[in-house]
Structure 1
Amino acid sequence: MTGNELELAGRVVELVRSLGGPDAQAEVWAQHSELSLTRFANSTIHQNVADAATRVRLRLHHSGRTAAGSSTVVDADGLRGLVERTLAAARLCPPDPGWPGLAPPAPVRADAAFDEATAAADPDERAGRVRDFVAAAGGLEAAGYCRTAWRSAAFANSAGQSVHGRSADAAMDGIVRSAGADGVARLASARLAELDGTVLGARAAAKAHAGVDPVELPPGEYEVVLEPAAVADLLSNFASFGFNGKRFVERQSFAEPGAEQFDRSITLLDDAPGTPALPFDAEGTPRDRLVLVDAGVTRAVAHDRRTAAEAGGESTGNQAGSAWGPMPTSLRLAPAGADPAAPNAAAGPVEPRAGTAPPPPAEVAGPAADSDVAALVSGVRRGLLVSDFWYTRVLDPKSLVITGLTRNGVWLISDGELAGPVRDLRFTQSYPRALAPGAVLGLGARASMQPDSWDSAWWTAPPVRLAGWNFTGGAAG
C-alpha cells in the first residue's frame, strides 16, 4: 500500500470539507506499517510473525469543538464513515478554547536514511542472525528476538500542509543463561546490516558466565557505571516525564529552561535526523534536531502546537497522536567529545558491522569487554557495574524519583577491577539528581541505539559513570 498514503489523507480532507462545510478543519494522518518478528527460546526459533496494517487518523475541529477518530477500513465507505463519526462526535464535545489551529505548509527533510534492504528483509535474514547469536552462546540457553519494521506515512490538513515520509529500523535483543545467571545484549539500528548476531551473542554469553554465584551487598549509595541499556531507561523516563511539553505547562516537570540542571558533560538532543524517525509529527510539523540540554543547561522541552501555544512558543514537531503529551522519542545523550550539531553525531553502534570477523575470545572474556565500559570501570575505587534496569516506576513525577530493579548482571568494582557478581538490587533515585552538576564522572566515547517497547522510539547513549546511585535493598524488598 506504500505510496497511497498521501492520496488517502487528501481524500479525507476533501470529505471533511464536503460533509462538514467551510467551518470544519481537518488534520489527517495515514500510515502503512509492516512489522516482522523472529523470536527464539531454548536456543530455537519458535515463532516468525509479520503484521501489516494501514490506519487513518483524523482530528477535526468544527464550530469551536474538537474530536478525533481512526479507522483501518480505508475504502470509500470506510473513509466516509470515519468522517461522519468524527463530525458527530465533535458536535457532542465540549468547547475547545485551546485549539491551536493547523500547521501551515512547510517542507520536511528527505527520508535519506531509509534503508530499502531493511524494509525488504525476509525471515531467513533474521533467522541467520538468531543462528549466529545462539552459536556464539556456546551451548548456553538463549532466548530473544530479531525484528525489522518499516513505515510509510503521510499527513494532510485543511491549511494545505501535505507531506510524506518513510522510515525503517531493525533491532535484536537476546539473553543467555548460565547456572541461573543472565547476560543480555541488544542493539537497534536504521540498518539490519549493522546487527551482528555473533557479537551480540558472545557479549551476552560472557556476561552470563561472569554472573554466576553472585553475592549480597548491603544497601547504600554506590558509585556506578551504567551500560547503555541502563542509561536508556533514564532517557525513556526523561522523555515521558521531564521533557514532555504537557507536563511542563502543567508544572509537573523538573525542566527549567535556562537553568544548569545537569553536569556540564551532559548534552541531550531529540535527534530525529539521527534515528529512523519520520520527518514530521502527527500535526504535520517538520521534525529536526532539538537541543534539550546543552552542556548541562536545560534549553527546551518538546512541544506540540497546543502546549507550545500555552507556553508562548512554537511546536518542536513532537506530537505523536497521543493524549500523553508531546515527547522526544529520539532522545540521545551525546557521547564524550561528540559534536552534537553534526549530522548523525551519535557514534553509531558499538558492535562491528555484520560480515566482520567476530572478536577474539579475550575481548569477550568478561562483562566489561567493551573498551568504553572498561575505561570507565578502571577509574572506580569502589562501586558497581550495572547492565540494565527494569520494572522502573515513578514515585514523584516532579522530581522524577523512580524506583526499580537492576537486571541481567551487576558486578562489584574494586580498585578499577571487577571483583565479582552481585545479586540484583532495588533502587530509589531521582534521575535528574543522578546527572546533576558534579555527579557525572565520565561518559563513553561511543553511543549505541537501544530498542524500546514503544512504537517508533529510540534511545541512544554511551555508558556513563556516576558519583552515586541510591540502592535501597535486595530484589526481594
Structure 2
Amino acid sequence: MSLDIVRTGAELELAARVVELVRSVAGPSAEAEVMVQHDAEALTRFANSMIHQNVADAVTTVRLRLHLDGRTASGSTTVVGADGLRGLVERTVAAVRLSPPDATWTGLTPPTPLHHSAGYHGSGPQSGLDFGFDEATARATPAERASRVRDFVRAAEGLETAGYCRTTYCSAAFANSAGQAVEGRTAEAAMDGIARVNGSDGVARRASGRITDLDGAALGARAAAKARAGQSPIELAPGRYEVVLEPEAVADVLDNLALFGFNGKAYAQKQSFAELGADQFDPSVTLVDEPLGSRAEPAPGLPFDDEGTPRESLVLVRDGVTRAVTHDRTSAAEAGATSTGHASPASRSWGPYPTHMRLEASPAATEPTLPPAGPSSPTAESARPLVARMERGLLITDFWYTRVLDPKTLVITGLTRNGVWLVEDGEVTAAVGNMRFTQSYAQALGPGQVLGIGSESVLLPDRWTGTRYAAPALHLASWNLTGNASG
C-alpha cells in the first residue's frame, strides 16, 4: 500500500472544468473559485513493540466558492465524475440564491505567478510541482516504513514501544473565473514513538520532506533513554522555575502563538497580543513562516492558498520585534493589509494562521563544546549546552492538554509530559513528576526572558491543526508551575 500518485495536471483540469460549469449554469457574472486537492496518507502503526496496522487512504476533494448577485455560498464533493461536478455546481448555485447578502466579499485573486523556493526547478511560472518535492517519499512502501519501525523497536532494547511511521502526499490545483490557475504538490514523512518502562515514558519525533531523513534507530534510542531516566520521579513544590524546553514542548508554544497571536482575524478584531512594530519578544527571537520549506528542512506545503494567493516566506518576528501577522483576503481587507497567502477552509471562521512556523536557531558557535551525551542521558543533544548553563531549573520534554485561558495575553494552562528532570549546576540530578503550569506564552518569550536558543531547529510532525513547526530547544528565565499533576 504505497501512496496514490495522481497524474500531473489532473487537478488543474478538474478545477478548470468546474469554472466552466459555473459559467454555463450561473452565467458570466458569477465569480467562482475552485480548489481541487488530492490527499493520500499511508500509516504503519506499532504497539507492544510490534506492527499491528498498515493502512493507506486517498481522496480527491473539490471545493467551490461562488459569489453571485452580492451573495456567497460554498460547497464540496468527493465525487469527481461529470455528474458529481455538475451536482456540486447546481447545489452551490441554488444555495447562493438563498444566502444573505455578503458585504465582506473581497473579490477574486487576479492572475499572479507563484513564488519559487530556493530548490525550485520547474519550467512554468504557474507550476509549483517541484517546490522541494521528493518523489521517493511520495511513493514510499510499507517495507520502508516498517524498516524504520524495526530500527526504533530494536534501539529501545527491550522496552515496550508504540507509535507510527507515516508518509503523506498531496497534489492540488486552484482556478478561478478571474483567470488565476496554479498547481502544486507536497510529500512528507514523519515518525512519532514512545518507549515505556515502569510507568515512565520517553518520546521522540521527527518529520521531513524526505523519508531518508527519518532515522528510526536514533529516535528509538532517544525515547528509551528518556524513559529509563524518568523512573522514580520526585515531586517538586509549585513555583516559578528556570526551564529548558525541548523542541517537542517548544512546538506547543509556537502552535498557540500561531493560532491566537499571529492570526490575522484575531489581530483585526483586536483579540491578539500582536502589536506590529513593538519590541514584544526577546531580541534573540526570530519567527518565520516558511510554507515553501527551506534547504535546512525541505518539507514544503502547497505554494498557494485556498484563494489562489501565492505563498512565500513571511517574517513574523525579527530580532524581537513583531513584524507581521498572517492574512487571507477577508482579514486583510478588515485590517487594511494584503493577503499573505493563508486562506484555508478554516480561515473563514477560525481565522488565518501560520502553518509552517520556524523559531530560528542560534549560531552553533555561541554554544560551549561538550562531550557526547552518554546512552542514559535524557537530554537531546541540541538542548545539552542550554542545560549546562542552568544553575537550578527544569528540563521539560513535552506539553499536552494545553488550553487557552486568556487569548489576548495568551495565558495557557496545561501539563508536562514524557519526561521532566531537575537540573542543578548544569547536570540532571533527578526525574520529576509531571506538573501543571499556567503561563503566558508571549511573556515567557518576552524581552530578557530568553536565556538561550538551541543551534538546531527540528521539524516535528503536524499537529491537530494541520500545522508544522521547526523548533529548537529553548532556555527560559521563568515558567510558572502551578501544581503537581497528581492533585
Interval of TM-score (by shorter of Structure 1 and Structure 2):
over 0.9
Deviations 1:8-34 (A, max 9, x none): 000111111111112210010001111
Alpha-carbon shift at residue 457 of structure 1 (Å): 2.1
Cα distance in 1 between the residues matched to 2:376 and 2:474: 21
Cα distance in 1 between the residues matched to 2:380 and 2:147: 24
Alpha-carbon shift at residue 2 of structure 1 (Å): 3.5
Moved more, 86-95 or 435-444: 86-95
2:304 maps to what in 1?
280
Moved more, 84-93 or 407-416: 84-93
Which of the residues 409, 425, 431 maps onto 1:421?
Answer: 431
Verify the 8 A CA contact 1:336 1:443 in the aligned structure 2.
yes
1:304 corresponds to 2:328: yes
Verify the 8 A CA contact 1:277 1:456 in the aligned structure 2.
no
Instruction: Provide TM-score, normalisation by structure 2.
Output: 0.92
SS of the residue 2:404 aligns to: strand
Cα distance in 2 between the residues matched to 1:470 and 1:369: 23
Alpha-carbon shift at residue 362 of structure 1 (Å): 5.2
Q: Which amino acid aligns with 1:75?
A: G
1:318 maps to what in 2?
342
Alpha-carbon shift at residue 434 of structure 1 (Å): 0.3
Deviations 1:70-115 (A, max 9, x none): 1000101100111111111111111111101100111113433100
1:366 maps to what in 2?
377
Verify the 8 A CA contact 1:318 1:328 in the aligned structure 2.
yes
Residues 16-165 of structure 1 aligned to structure 2 (within 5 Å):
16-108=22-114, 109=116, 110=128, 111-165=130-184
Q: Which amino acid aligns with 2:324?
A: A
Which of the residues 366, 384, 401 maps onto 1:391?
Answer: 401
1:355 maps to what in 2?
none
Which of the residues 459, 470, 481 maps onto 1:471?
Answer: 481
RMSD: 1.3
Alpha-carbon shift at residue 455 of structure 1 (Å): 6.4
Cα distance in 2 between the residues matched to 1:38 and 1:80: 37
SS of the residue 1:38 aligns to: strand
Q: Which amino acid aligns with 1:249?
A: A
1:445 corresponds to 2:455: yes
Cα distance in 2 between the residues matched to 1:22 and 1:252: 39
Cα distance in 2 between the residues matched to 1:228 and 1:364: 20
Q: Which amino acid aligns with 1:49?
A: V
Instruction: Provide TM-score, normalisation by structure 1.
Output: 0.94
1:218 maps to what in 2?
237
Alpha-carbon shift at residue 368 of structure 1 (Å): 1.3
Alpha-carbon shift at residue 476 of structure 1 (Å): 2.7
SS of the residue 1:273 aligns to: coil
Cα distance in 2 between the residues matched to 1:473 and 1:455: 28
2:254 maps to what in 1?
235
Alpha-carbon shift at residue 361 of structure 1 (Å): 9.3
Cα distance in 1 between the residues matched to 2:471 and 2:463: 17
Verify the 8 A CA contact 1:2 1:152 in the aligned structure 2.
no
1:294 maps to what in 2?
318
Which runs of 5 or more residues in structure 2 are unaligned?
A: 1-5, 117-127, 294-298, 365-370
- Compared with structure 1, are the counterparts of its residues 269 and 407 closer, same or farther at alpha carbon in structure 2 (3 Å cutoff)? same
Verify the 8 A CA contact 2:277 2:323 in the aligned structure 1.
yes
SS of the residue 1:272 aligns to: coil
